[in-house]
Structure 1
Amino acid sequence: MSTAPAAAFDPASATIAVVTYNRSGLLTRLLTSIAAMDPKPGHVVIVDNASTDDTTELVESFRERLGTTLVYRRMETNTGGSGGFSEGMRVAYELGSEWIWLMDDDVEVLPEGLAKMGKWAPRFKSIQGRRYDYDGSEFYWQYRVAEPLAIPIPFAPAGFDASGYRPMNSGCFEGMFIHRDVVAEIGLPDPRFFIYWDDQTYGWLASRKTASVIVDEFVLRRTREIKQWDMGVRHMNASSNAYRFYIMRNRAHIKQYYRALGVYRRVPFALGTALTFGKELIRLLFVEHTVRGTSHLFRGLREGRKIAKDASWRPMPPLEAVRRS
């Protein structure tokens, strides 16, 4: 694993890459917060997943007031968060960015957010900051994955010691801060996921190449309220039928990555899939108070079987390999 220290962090070497879809109100808050940042990144890339609202006009209205270079990419179709982040990272990489900071449109950046992330940049190359939830509480993100099961560990310690960081083997595109060297090695995020498991898988791939950490720095704040079940120290969010479909279908993409990298173990992975299914049933009952939606879980499993049997499936290629070919 690469742990060699990098040069001192230059904010202008960073690019914020945002994916948005039909949420211009939320995007307004995010762009307003970026305009207030100090320091600012060298570029801001907005990937618009073919929005039908006023997103294009909104982005253009910020071009002069943002205080940094704005790049707008409008997709021809909705490629999901996975496709959007893949495109956003591609654009940022081709701009020559040393650091790429990914985020959804339903957060805002704290004014000193980039400086806080940059403080860790000379030491690590895959970094996750912390965020406040919509109500101002400290959001807990499951930063450790039980690798054989390929599921998050919900009881990984939430606190930090004097080091100010914890090793992670996962990732979250709502705040992933990653160096171009790691992107070159593992390639772009996989757009085939469409939504869900894509960031966990990408963070896991990164952790196989470099020391990945979550740091005790609050840098983002969520701006969208989500229906939740308060479990005390943890929350469980509401979801959607699309979410239920992809959370089960995309287990097959993870299985294929595991096979390609030689870490797949059939029984533990099947247990992880069963636990995921069970968790989604609990989410339906206790967060959404319904049993409707289970058909989408089964449909996802059926589609996943086709993916798992696809002998032509290949992982996303390293960017170094793409350049050479």
Structure 2
Amino acid sequence: MTTGPLPRIVAVVVTFNRLALLEKLVARLGEIEGLAEVLVVDNASSDGTGAWLAARPTTGEIPLSARTLPTNRGGAGGFHDGLAWAIDREADLVWLMDDDGLPDVDCLDKLLLETDNLDFWGPLVVDEADPGRLVFPIRLPGGARVVHAVEDVRRAAKQDRIDGIVIPFNGVLVTKELVDRIGLPREEFFIWGDDHEYRLRAEEAGARVATVVTATVRHPSVGNLGTPMMFGRTTYNDSPSDLKHYCMARNNLVNLRDYRGPLHALAFVVKTAWFYTFTRPSLSRLRLSIGAMRAGIAGDFDGHRRFLS
């Protein structure tokens, strides 16, 4: 629980072509006490989001400001700019979220109980249609066990939190002090892996990271994450979207190289080759993967643009 003066908390929402979800989220943020301001970064949406934001929708008593970017820079670019904007607005704590999440009314209150203890922390992200299940399964620290049920993760928690785990950027709080130490998300990643890289960077800097299991954000289901491979011993994230797959292959290899070392990076290359040779044979996907990984090694982060419409 915080014992000093109340921090200035600024919410940052990144949105792209999901106006109906954004309207619902903005309305919910207006119901949450403790926010000083809401900042919305619009990734050049084409569904009327810019016009709606220009009309300055109400968030109750909470001021709302918006920026529409000239081009779509993905979640990575949106959170890069939004976090910098919040710090410029003298935020002590920044509450980061995508437009498709919906925090419970008491979510921020539950998170703030840990203000004195943590640097980078967030809530459980549960399936909006089945709140007893996690949208993003959690691998418990200290072992290989992955939990999918909310009750399982709450039973594993100590003092209402699980240290060393957080699911960015779905309603996570980050302190200004940590941002000053580690900088902003890698905007060049565009999508996929930018949030994971930011968590890895925070951990490398000694940040106190955790999930508060009493706090909840509701999120649409994303289905089963990962296709089983190698006789069920592991899974592989195979997206039907060429854009998502390209960014995943490129950014995941870079993260593994930078934070786990060359052997882990090589293992990912082998895993990708196995998947598209044996598990789900596709010469075109194998070529796409190789091109993406070569680009990542070379520091070329423009290749995904050819998949943007």
The bucket for the TM-score relative to the shorter chain is 0.7 to 0.9
Query: Can you give the 5+ residue segments of structure 1 that lack an aligned partner in the other structure?
Result: 147-151, 286-290, 312-325
2:213 to 211, 216, 223: 216
Distance 2:277 2:129 in 1: 26
Partner residue of 1:271? 267
- Provide the secondary structure at the position in 1 that maps to 2:130: coil
2:295 to 303, 306, 311: 306
Distance 2:173 2:137 in 1: 16
Matching of residues 15-94 of structure 1 within 5 Å? 15-37=10-32, 39-61=33-55, 63-94=57-88
Matching of residues 120-159 of structure 1 within 5 Å? 120-137=114-131, 138-139=133-134, 141-143=136-138, 155=146, 158=153, 159=155
- Provide the secondary structure at the position in 2 that maps to 1:42: strand
Asked if the contact 2:253/2:296 (under 8 Å) is kept, the reply is yes
- Provide the secondary structure at the position in 2 that maps to 1:64: coil
Distance 1:56 1:225 in 2: 26
- Provide the secondary structure at the position in 2 that maps to 1:139: strand
Q: 1:46 to 1:59 in 2, by over 3 A?
A: same
Identity %: 21
Q: Tell me the alpha carbon deviations over residues 248-296 of structure 1, each in whole angstroms, 9 at most, x when there is no partner.
A: 01134325633xxxx52x22332244446767999x96xxxxx67x634
Asked if the contact 1:252/1:305 (under 8 Å) is kept, the reply is no
Matching of residues 190-269 of structure 1 within 5 Å? 190-208=186-204, 209-222=206-219, 224-228=220-224, 240-255=241-256, 257-258=258-259, 264=261, 266-269=262-265
Aligned residues: 284
Q: Which amino acid aligns with 1:35?
A: G
Distance 1:79 1:216 in 2: 32
How far is the alpha carbon of 1:170 from its aligned partner? 5.6
Asked if the contact 2:10/2:91 (under 8 Å) is kept, the reply is yes
Task: Please say which of residues 300-309 and 208-217 is displaced more in the overlay.
Answer: 300-309
Q: 1:32 to 1:279 in 2, by over 3 A?
A: farther
TM-score by length of 2: 0.79
Distance 1:140 1:23 in 2: 19
Q: 1:298 to 1:142 in 2, by over 3 A?
A: farther
- Provide the secondary structure at the position in 2 that maps to 1:47: strand
Partner residue of 2:90? 96
Higher strand share: 2
How far is the alpha carbon of 1:190 from its aligned partner? 0.2
Q: Tell me the alpha carbon deviations over residues 81-132 of structure 1, each in whole angstroms, 9 at most, x when there is no partner.
A: 1111111111011111111111111111211111111111121111121122
Partner residue of 1:323? none
Q: 1:196 to 1:153 in 2, by over 3 A?
A: farther
Q: 1:129 to 1:55 in 2, by over 3 A?
A: same
- Provide the secondary structure at the position in 1 that maps to 2:266: helix
Partner residue of 1:322? none
Looking at both structures, which has the greater relative contact order when contacts are Cα pairs under 8 Å and sequence separation is at least 6?
1
Q: 1:274 to 1:27 in 2, by over 3 A?
A: farther
TM-score by length of 1: 0.75
Q: 1:201 to 1:297 in 2, by over 3 A?
A: farther
Distance 2:118 2:94 in 1: 13
Q: Tell me the alpha carbon deviations over residues 164-218 of structure 1, each in whole angstroms, 9 at most, x when there is no partner.
A: 1112256421222111111111100001111111111101111222121111123
1:187 to 183, 187, 195: 183
How far is the alpha carbon of 1:28 from its aligned partner? 1.0
Query: Can you give the 5+ residue segments of structure 2 that lack an aligned partner in the other structure?
Result: 228-234, 301-309
